[in-house]
Structure 1
């Protein structure tokens, strides 16, 4: 997972639903398009976004398989090592290369947000193991609403009554999923909620640093500082993977690199505001994988609650687009 519903963010700072534990599980920030597309290739971009969401969901499946056999910190650490190499390779091809990417006006914030995303990814993998893909992603879809709710106190943005209403309805959807007092809610159910809060804070910090640092710099610091932070305590969980499990790990890392490359390509072809709603398809793919591969149970309240949360998130995104326009 890694990278893990689209957030209502400006088009110059796109973020994948991804938290795919991947992203969380994962999603690190990606470099936006450097030039406007000459032709309208929105249809191709939407297709790439849907494909990216599918790969993110498969990636989450790999994360769950490995997370059931090994400590999540170990799984995320190895994945981040490969991701850091991918980041270095991508950034090296940009104007200024690594020398430019290292220079940041907000080093401590950049390091913190990179470490925060790494920890969030670990929490998501743990949630995959304990709750399954279906319920984890259903609860995690609340994160765009958290972004909208926290954008006021953290970034000083104005949130109108319509979006506050959507936020309230979205959180009501989470209560439908959790069913407090219904005998099905456990402390483990809050893992994806905590991950969503962390990912929302990560997204807000990304928007904050984007005022001073270009996306390439944030992309570099996300991969490198995240890898360093996870290694500091993940290395204590070190153990050699069984030979067959290295195949799963290779699949996880390959999905991570492929999904992020396709994500970058999709944002080069179309505006983020046109693509973000289609990132919600990851919830569909993850649910199908959870049901078919892992035998997850699709409870009616989870379906109803997820629909409420997604609808509230889409409304919030629509209001953000109107505000930007």
Structure 2
């Protein structure tokens, strides 16, 4: 295959769903750690250090892969890859900032709308078909999210625009990742995501350096490892399956966040959480059942 020739894409829905579920677990863990660190240190510095590890990881991975660094860096769409990297780095900064000004739960109440943005844009951006049943499943999942959060006046705080911007940026990043996979491998997209973000964040974050305590350095190490893992899972997810098919399972991000709040921060398990989580799971299982039924009928 010559560079610039479209890659044959898979649409393995079960594998894509499994990758999305794994990614939501990792992202929920990152939310808690990010909130802890950003409450004590500058957001740019926290994101910069995370990206240093991320870049080192993708470079090491590329060096050990077939074709080495030369193969990983080779792309027919460098502008798109650079834009993806900058977009994700900016989105992470916006999301972490939202945790500090609006709080983790209220931020997630707004941010969790990003799967709907992906589903709405997957048609015009990627040319994917979104049927009414899939729209219905996504809608049921959103109802479950609203039941869990029971959003109060805090959601209508003017600061709520911050996680809304973050949601739009993350949705666009996911769609562009799927688009880039038509010509570039997962390794190439992963490399450009890490290196571009590291360069951009270093240019900004070094101006905001401040000392960090030993315990927080350990939390930072965990954040770095989970950051690399989470975004690799997401890249692989969009390479394996249509974005609109796996998005209902992104709602599990909120469920893991609720579990984290209960077990780590001592939050109370409300009946609304149980009802909402049941709706989210039901919506995801229905989507998987529909995809399998359609595959058998083809």
Same fold (TM over 0.5): yes
Partner of 1:203: 174
Shift of 1:62: 1.8
**SS of residue matched to 1:95:** coil
**SS of residue matched to 1:69:** coil
Partner of 1:251: 222
2:191 equivalent to 1:220: yes
CA contact (8 A) 1:63 1:252 kept: yes
Q: Deviations over 1:133-183 (max 9, x none)?
A: 444445444323321110111122232233344455555666667878x53
TM superposition score normalised by structure 1: 0.69
Partner of 2:29: 58
Structure 1 residues 291, 128: closer, same or farther in 2, change over 3 A? farther
2:115 equivalent to 1:144: yes
Q: Partners in 2 of 1:131 and 1:154 — Cα distance?
A: 31
CA contact (8 A) 1:144 1:313 kept: no
Q: Partners in 1 of 2:246 and 2:120 — Cα distance?
A: 22
Shift of 1:71: 1.8
CA contact (8 A) 1:113 1:205 kept: yes
CA RMSD in angstroms comes to 3.9
Q: Partners in 1 of 2:190 and 2:40 — Cα distance?
A: 30
Partner of 2:154: 184
**SS of residue matched to 1:100:** helix
Partner of 1:70: 41
Structure 1 residues 139, 184: closer, same or farther in 2, change over 3 A? closer
Partner of 1:95: 66
Structure 1 residues 321, 130: closer, same or farther in 2, change over 3 A? farther
CA contact (8 A) 1:73 1:230 kept: yes
2:257 equivalent to 1:290: no
Which structure 1 residue ranges, 5 or more long, are not aligned?
1-8, 19-48
Q: Partners in 2 of 1:139 and 1:303 — Cα distance?
A: 20
Number of residue equivalences: 279
CA contact (8 A) 1:57 1:282 kept: yes
Which piece of structure 1 moves more, 231-240 or 93-102? 231-240
CA contact (8 A) 1:141 1:306 kept: no
2:94 equivalent to 1:109: no
Shift of 1:253: 1.9
Q: Partners in 2 of 1:179 and 1:163 — Cα distance?
A: 24
**SS of residue matched to 2:182:** coil
Which structure 2 residue ranges, 5 or more long, are not aligned?
1-9
Partner of 2:4: none
TM superposition score normalised by structure 2: 0.74
CA contact (8 A) 1:291 1:298 kept: yes
Shift of 1:132: 3.9
**Comparing both structures, which one devotes a greater share of its residues to helix?**
2
